[in-house]
Structure formats: C-alpha cells, structure tokens
Amino acid sequence: MKKTIFITGANGFLGSRIVKVALKKKYIVKAFVRKDSDLENIKNLDVKICYGDLRDKNSIEESIKGSNIIFHVAADYRLWARKSSEIYESNVFGTENIIKAATKFTHEKFLLTSSVATLGTSRDKSIDENSNANFSNMISDYKKSKYIAEKIFFDYVRKKLIKGIVLNPSTPIGPGDIKPTPTGRIIFQMLTRNMPAFVETGLNFVHVDDVAEGHFLALKNGKIGERYILGGENMNFKEFLDKVSSFGNVPTPKFKIKTKFLYPLAYLNELYSRINKYRDPMLTVNGLRMSEELMFFSSEKAKSQLGYRPRNINNAIKESVMWMKEYFNLK
C-alpha cells in the first residue's frame, strides 16, 4: 500500500524538488500551498493540492490527516521585511501549528526543513551539527525565527509527541528557482550584467536536488531527535562568481568592496523600500552583516550516517546558470 507524504511549501524551490523525488519513489503526495501560490513548479504533477495557510490551524488539520509522513519545508526566507512579525508568524507560529496538528494524528516520521542559519558561524573553520549558536548574536529575524522553531520542534520530540528529525540545508542552487532565492538573485544579477563589484565572503553551495534526495535518506536512515546538515562544497564568494561568469559567458566583477563602505547604501535601500512598497531592497544591512562571517559547513555526519552524497558543485552552478538563462530568456 502506498504511503502518503504531506509536504508544506510544495510549490517552492526546494519543496517542488522534494515532491518530484517523492513521486519517483511512488509516494502519494499532499501538496500544502496557499491559495494565491504560483504552482508553476508542480504543474502537471500527480499530487493532491491542499490549499491552506500556516497560520490557519483548521486548514492544516484538514489537510494533514491521513498522512503517514510529514515534511515541513515551507518558510519565509527573507532577510528583510517591512513587517518582521510576518517572518515569525510563518517560521515560528506556522511551524508550531504544523507540529500541533501532527500530534493529533498517527505519523511515522516528521522532518523539519530548517537551515544552517540556526547554527553558528566562524571566521576560520567549517561548522558542524554540534555548533552552539548564540541567539543574542544572531543576525536577521529569519535566523532567529528558524532557531526558535527548531527549539520548539526538539521540545516536542523530547516529549515523544512527534517522531522528528531536523535537516539543515546550506545554500541550495539549481533549476526551478522561479521566485529567486537570495543566491538565485545573485546569479540573475550576474547574468544580466548588473553586479559591478562584490564583497569577500564564503558560502557552502549545494545542488537543490541533492538536498531533496537527502530528505529521503534521512527518512530512511535518520535517527529520531537528530539533525543533519545537507550541504555541498565550501567556496569563496569570488570563486563562485567566477564560475557563474564562465558558465554564463558574462563578465566577472572586478572590484572588491569592503562592507563598511556599503552600509550607508544598504540603509538607503531599505528606507526607499519602506516608502515604495512595490520594491524590495537590492542590498540589506543584515545581508552585509552576514557576509562578514564565513558560512562554511560540514556534511560529514549526513554522509556517514545517511549515505548522503552531494554532486560536484560545478555541475550545480552550471545547471543553475543554464536554467536561469532559459527560464528568464536571458541572452
């Protein structure tokens, strides 16, 4: 008998790739999405669309019942919002609503898609699952909201109210980023020749499909109450831009700018966006602050315990570039 997976954020960049893996593995998929969601990423797929909202407990309970497995992927990943309360409503209260609904129905496993944003950062080494992040030093409401959501989730796991595992993806890239993530916007800016300069930082990049596959490895091999980083390769930002430049056949930015010179521009960007509600800032204060720390992470635990095997990052970057050029009709 086929098992049913309930997936929140099923139409999103990562969520839609998880949906496709689930269908290949012959699961019945319940795709939980908002009524105003863009369903481009899951059109023509054999899924049951469940309309609802993370803030609406009734819509969650009605949709989640009968599910064997729960993947809570949906999140508000903005680094800046006119109303920061919106980020907490989705990432904290929304997560708790999903958790509470899960406690009312029998389920085999509950996977929470979190982020490496909940872990610490370092100037000189890779961070693993044992890193102790300092909440008071966390930059951005996004990071703080995901950290709080994790705490709530693990509390329910400890009380044996849910059979939960946390997954911490790093920076996914790849096809299907139709509402570009922060990294997707960087690739888009490069391909449209709209990035004359850069700041020195470092990130861990991973193919979105590897993260999707990692969810099912955790479902099969993961231990209840554990967390697993699903990352790819640590890379300096300039090296990443050079690869985008090479695959996209566009110029690479030549000027490195220190973040201290960009803060006034970031403040002005945010101020203008508060006045003009139709335009989000291209540069944010929190984005600059985050860039001042290396965001390097280790996936050794996932590799050894789950059998996780991320592909070569060059393939991920190339696929991202080629897909974006085609989707947005970029010359």
pLDDT in tens, 30-89: 999 999 999 999 999 999 999 999 999 999 999 999 999 999 999 998 888 888 899 999
The reply to whether 196 falls in a domain is no
- At residue 123, does pLDDT exceed 70? no
- The torsion region of residue 249 among left (phi > 0), alpha (psi -120 to 50) and beta comes to left
Output the average pLDDT for the chain.
93
Strands 4-8 and 69-72, by their bridges, are parallel
- At residue 121, does pLDDT exceed 80? no
Q: Where are the alpha helices (DSSP H) in the chain?
A: 13-24, 57-64, 84-88, 94-103, 141-158, 182-191, 208-221, 237-248, 263-275, 285-291, 300-306, 313-327
- At residue 259, does pLDDT exceed 70? yes
The reply to whether 65 falls in a domain is yes
Range of the domain at 87: 4-178+203-235+295-314
- At residue 122, does pLDDT exceed 80? no
Q: pLDDT at position 271, please?
A: 87
In degrees, rounded to 5, the angle at the alpha carbon of residue 92 between the alpha carbons of residues 3 and 201 is 100
Which position has the higher pLDDT, 208 or 275? 208
Q: Find the largest Cα–Cα distance for the chain.
A: 60
Q: pLDDT at position 47, please?
A: 98
Identify the top-confidence range among 22-26, 250-254, 268-272.
22-26
- At residue 276, does pLDDT exceed 90? no
Predicted confidence band of residue 270 (pLDDT cuts 50, 70, 90): confident
Residue indicated by tokens 């996936």: 299
Q: pLDDT at position 124, please?
A: 65
The reply to whether 229 falls in a domain is yes
Q: Can you give the CATH number for the domain in which 110 is found? A: 3.40.50.720
* CA nearest to 101, candidates 149, 66, 144, 148: 66
How far is the C-alpha of 174 from the C-alpha of 327, rounded, in Å? 12
The reply to whether 10 falls in a domain is yes
**256 SS3 class:** strand
Q: pLDDT tens digits, residue range 224-258?
A: 999 999 999 999 999 999 999 999 999 999 889 99
Q: pLDDT at position 132, please?
A: 73
The reply to whether 257 falls in a domain is no
The reply to whether 195 falls in a domain is no
> Could you tell me if 159 and 225 are in contact, meaning their C-beta atoms sit under 8 angstroms apart?
no
The mean-pLDDT minimum among 56-60, 136-140, 153-157, 312-316 falls in: 136-140
- Secondary structure tally for the chain: helices H, strands E: 12, 12
Residue indicated by tokens 């993530």: 181
Residue indicated by tokens 């050079």: 242
Domain count, the chain: 1
Which position has the higher pLDDT, 216 or 261? 216
* CA nearest to 200, candidates 116, 132, 294: 294
Cβ neighbours of 64 (radius 10 Å):
22
Contacts 24+ apart (CB under 8 A), 268-271: 270/80
Predicted confidence band of residue 135 (pLDDT cuts 50, 70, 90): confident
What does the pLDDT average to over 179-189?
93
How far is the C-alpha of 30 from the C-alpha of 50, rounded, in Å? 6
Q: Where are the alpha helices (DSSP H) in 159-202?
A: 182-191
Per the DSSP assignment, residues forming a β-bridge with 110 are 70, 164
Q: pLDDT at position 275, please?
A: 86
The reply to whether 85 falls in a domain is yes
**268: Cβ contacts below 8 Å, ≥ 6 apart:** none
Predicted TM-score (pTM) of the model is 0.95
Q: pLDDT at position 106, please?
A: 82
The reply to whether 285 falls in a domain is no
Backbone angles phi, psi at 105, to 5 degrees: -135, 150
* CA nearest to 262, candidates 245, 238, 287: 287
> Could you tell me if 19 and 45 are in contact, meaning their C-beta atoms sit under 8 angstroms apart?
yes
What does the pLDDT average to over 302-331?
96
Q: pLDDT at position 220, please?
A: 98
> Could you tell me if 111 and 219 are in contact, meaning their C-beta atoms sit under 8 angstroms apart?
yes
Q: pLDDT at position 80, please?
A: 80
Q: pLDDT at position 309, please?
A: 98
